[in-house]
Structure formats: structure tokens, C-alpha cells
Amino acid sequence: MDARGEYKALIARMRNWCARRDRSTSEVERKLQELGMGEKDRAKAIQQLTSEQYLDDVRFTESFVSGRVRIKKWGRIKIKHALKPHQISDGLIVAAFDSVIDEEEYKENLRSILFAKGWRPETRLSYKDTQKLMRFAFQRGYETSLINELLSSSQA
């Protein structure tokens, strides 16, 4: 197969791959590099996939944030760290947070993961139990201020 035919075959393969789920530009770039495509052809392929709307970092970021918040119940901090390997800019991440995350749903997610860990708003927690719950929520990526707000409201 000649270089032109190989390029077309790889583009077709990338269209199919990108159509299955949203991908970031860095994911596609990495995949094309693994498949042995040259740097100039990679740039051209990414530009083509973007213009054909198979590739869109805004759509990818919003989809990623939405899935992590609604399904996995992750907090903003963990999501932001998970997006770093995808080379998504901070501005795009903040915009996705603003457009996708509903604050009430976000707080309810935190309540539900703490509830699953044994937290009950009506019970008074020891310092040790409070710290355990705070560490757990922080590992899930929730902000310290939000965790403190929720736990202190139950202690009052």
C-alpha cells in the first residue's frame, strides 16, 4: 500500500475509534504515534478529525467531567488531576465544571459517599471518625471547605 493509501486507512481507523467515545487530542496524537504516523501527517490528521468533528477537546472535557461527577461521584480536584495527562487546559476544565456540575447534585454526591461510609448527620462524630471521613472525601477529590461545611453542619 502506498503512503497515501496508508494515511487514508489510518484516518478511517481514527474516525471509527473517535466515534466510539469522545477522545482528547493528546489521546489521538499518542495513538497515531503508536501506529507509526509521521509528525506532519499526525498534525494534518488531527486537524482533519477536528474539522470533521470527530475530535473536540471541549466536548471531551464536558463528557469526562459529566461521567466522573454523575457516575463515579468524583470531586473537582480528582477530576482536574485526571484530565492533566490529556493535556487539557485549566480554562477548559473550569468551563466544563461551570457548564456541567450542578452544585446541589455535587453536594448530594458528597453526602451520599459519606453516608455510604457510615456518616449520619444526626450523630455526633469523634475527632478520629471526622478525620477518617475527611480523608475519604478528600481522596475522592472533594474540596476541604465543602467537606468541613458538611461535617460541621451535622455537628451543630
Confidence of residue 14 (pLDDT cuts 50, 70, 90): very high
Tell me if the pTM is above 0.85.
yes
Taking each helix axis from N to C end, the angle separating 57-70 and 90-100, rounded to the nearest 10 degrees, works out to 50
Q: What does the mean pLDDT of the chain come to?
A: 93
For 33-72, what is each residue's pLDDT tens digit? 999 988 999 999 999 999 999 999 999 999 999 999 999 9
Confidence of residue 121 (pLDDT cuts 50, 70, 90): confident
Among 26-40, 99-113, 141-155, whose mean pLDDT is lowest? 141-155
Domain limits, the chain: 3-55, 58-100, 103-155
Rounded to whole angstroms, the Cα distance separating 36 from 13 reads: 13
Fold category of 3-55 in CATH: Arc Repressor Mutant, subunit A (1.10.10)
